[in-house]
Amino acid sequence: MKLYFFITLALIFNSNLILAQKIQWMSFSEAQEAQKKEPKKIFMDVYTEWCGPCKLLDKNTFQNPDVSRYIIENYYAVKFNAEGVEEIKYYDQTFTNPNFDPNRKGRNATHQFTQFLGVKGYPTMVFFSENGDPIMPLVGYQKPKQIELFLKMIKQGDYQIFSKPEDFENYRKNFVPRFRG
């Protein structure tokens, strides 16, 4: 009887670990290298240190088991500080943040790659194709059921069939979210 109890307890513990996988964030260059070995879309979270909604996205959305599992299984997940100092090589260009001030608290200079991507607000999530081409940005805090539509639409390539704004609206109306939270 005790053995049955411990086996059951171990199974419950292990299944909770599987459900609660955390996203293993990587740099953009790591994702680009990974794409060379195994083509997969990139999901980039563009954030800043001072951004409240960015912190909520980390806490409430990226910690959601459905969201984290889907991102882990279908994307290379990249965290990119929009005001950081990471050097980005992209399209035969090198992007840096030459005006970054390490002594400054709060807002800092915007990284050149942030500007190149056209990011205007935080958080912004940018999707890239298996070839590394930008697909689309998604601006603002997203709850699990809200981000699910975009994660699945991009992964499945459904966005490629839209020819007018009404196509996306119809897609959104007919989408049935499955994520909890």
- What domains does the chain contain, in order, with CATH numbers? 22-143 (3.40.30.10)
- pLDDT tens per residue across span 26-37: 999 999 999 999
Q: In terms of pTM, does the model score above 0.85?
A: yes
Q: pLDDT (tens digit, 9 = 90+) per residue, 110-131?
A: 999 999 999 999 999 999 999 9
5 vs 179 pLDDT, higher one: 179
Indicate whether 15 pLDDT > 60. Answer: no
C-alpha pair distances (Å), 97 with each of 94, 112, 151: 10, 6, 29
**What spatial distance separates the first Cα and last Cα of the chain, rounded to whole Å?**
37
pLDDT of residue 21: 86
